[in-house]
Structure 1
Amino acid sequence: MRVTALTGLLCLEGLAFQVAHADGLPNLYGIGGIGHSRASIDDPRIISGLKASGFGVNGINNSQGDTAYNLFLGYRFNHYFALEGGYFNLGEFGYNANTNPAGTLSGNAKFSGLALDAVGLWPITPRMTLLGFIGGQYTRTQDSFSSTGSVHTIPTANNNGGGYNFGLGAQYKINDWVSLRADAKRYRVNDAVGNHGDVDVYSVSLVFPFGRESQPAPPEPKPVVMTPEPVASTPAPTPIMAAPVVMAPAPKPTRVTFLADSFFGFDQSKLMPEGKEQLDQFAQKLKGAQYSDISVTGYSDRIGAHHYNMLLSKRRAEAVKKYLVDVDGIDAAKITAMGKDGEDPVTKPDQCVGNKITRQLIACLQPDRRVVVEVTGLQNP
């Protein structure tokens, strides 16, 4: 029996996964789906086998649809590579052939097993990532047969064996708690009587995080009470000559630079406790002060691709902004966040030589990996 299944998998909503930092690509995550399988039965081979046994075939009815589902877990090692593995069930497919001399031959095949896939990741925006899959699987095939009249057959046959799969997909981050994935995979499977076939699975799945830290709600804004000014009993005298207006120079922007390595792990954008403590101290100094706006700029070093470095720097700046807003209660409308790739390096051109990524080069370029917070119009009380 050759099987080609077209499966539209709807999503299970009862799983929990980790969406990594800010791009919807989890470190530890899971995928679940359920939907409908669509199969194509290899009727010519069935007819050929019956004719070789001396039977004519009056007609074949196929059962080409069934329920399919899968449950996977995955781990993302970096922004370009992950492993995913778990259980899949492609459903049951079958046929019923009417023979001459009078009789029938029926067959059914069930496919299920375990798969382990290598996943290539290509982030094209902070929310959208393209996916490529290639992997292997261990498939259990259960065949059952029945016959009537002059046809005789074995009742059951099972097969356990390896196979492979490959596919493409895309994932979109809806928010920090869930991402939406769509993918198409082809599973190469064997039945229990020596036939080979493909199972094509088209999936739509939800992705959730494991172990995401909850952030406290921002503090409630304090009400502002306006007190009317008292009305003067007598009008003030009109001056004969107005005094000259002297404009005080605008205060210079206040800039604070934080080393990214004290805020984030290498190639990560999740704030560490040490970074949170430094931001709390920074926010404490702003309490009671007047300022117009705050800009947060994340800088990467020159290692790596420009597109990836821009995404990582932006995620780090967004993480700092989110913490200042959610935890320290700073008005989100006053904070902007942006990322830059290796611009304005702190290190000198001849200080860190080479482009090959080594521990020495990473350590040398540490000053370039930083987050700069600039407060404009700061006036202390």
Structure 2
Amino acid sequence: MLASKHGLQLPPLSLYVHIPWCVRKCPYCDFNSHQAARDHTDTEYALPQADYVAQLRLDLISQLSWVQGRKLQSIFFGGGTPSLFSPEAIGQILVMAEELVGFSESIEITLEANPGTFEQEKFTGYRAAGVNRLSIGVQSFSSTQLHNLGRIHSGEEASRALDMARRAGFDNINLDLMHGLPGQTEAEALEDLHRAVTLAPEHISWYQLTIEPNTAFYSAPPSTPGSQLIASMQSRGRDFLASEGYLRYEVSAYSGKGLESRHNLNYWGFGDYLGIGAGAHGKVTLPEEGQILRSRRTRTPRDYLAITPDTRALLHRALSEPHSDPIEAEDLSLEFLMNALRLVEGVPLDTFERYTGLPIEVLQRHWSGLMAMDLVQPLEQCIAATAFGFDYLDEILQRFLEQA
């Protein structure tokens, strides 16, 4: 790893590709997603795939100085619904990324997909294009809950989607599930997990519904389970998943041993990632400047696509410099912990100094008090919460937020 006079070292590098269109905006979704329009036949979606792929290329080219000799360890296509794009378009993006940056030998390439967009031929095409991991947005198998969540698929279609993915050649699949849904009972939450496990995915993301600003649910909040019922759901759900061989390695992520999401592990381990696409975010380390930057792209697809090759030199500042902000030294500890403490096993102790350039002493000033409350483990080999503290991460982070 490259080190600098500032003590910073380059972490691994990933790529996030944002595809901002979806079939329909879900009432709980606060991601940068936009409903796709139908074409004149009303059977396909009128997506500017060629123009968007060309713009992604220009976007990535504008960030190549941030690569600094690294190859991509992982790529994640998120959205929106990336599976609305054709296998040919996804393949073009992958060819472009390999050509401009380069791939590690064991690169993980994940594509998010919703069951309502599954077609056997299409998913065989994604696998042939180089996608080797699917993340399927099931959310629930209950017809009632799928209706409540504004989903466009049924529980049966979700099961068929995984079967089609297997027949397409995918042997690394994540299922997204939610709990704490409107009117959901504990038995219903556990039934969703039971049905998921029968499909034998390699990875399950099981996370609580939260009501976020700028969503339909925020404007008209549904009635959701109380905190005690949520806690019971989570406790019983974790026990069940563990009994089935799904080990919790992050706040809401469970997998078989060695099947953790490498892309997300890089996020939580304070690795770097380039973000391309409308509304995409990134985080990059510049050792020689002694800086860590957070970057973000313009949100609306229309504005993102309006930047042409002829105007990019003039408008480059609109895409990068005003939207690329150094993380201030006083905020680095909090930024690091917001990621690292999500991991059940935490991160190695020296990771903090290598990837922030800060001495471990800046954590120690708060650590003894947190240890006294049994919230964190001693700063010996790793930076991690205790089993008890893992349920109180907000309280741990508040200590550092007050000092930021």
After TM superposition, is the score higher than 0.5? no
Higher strand share: 1
Higher helix share: 2
Whose Rg is larger? Answer: 1
Point out which structure has higher relative CO (alpha carbons under 8 A, 6+ apart).
2
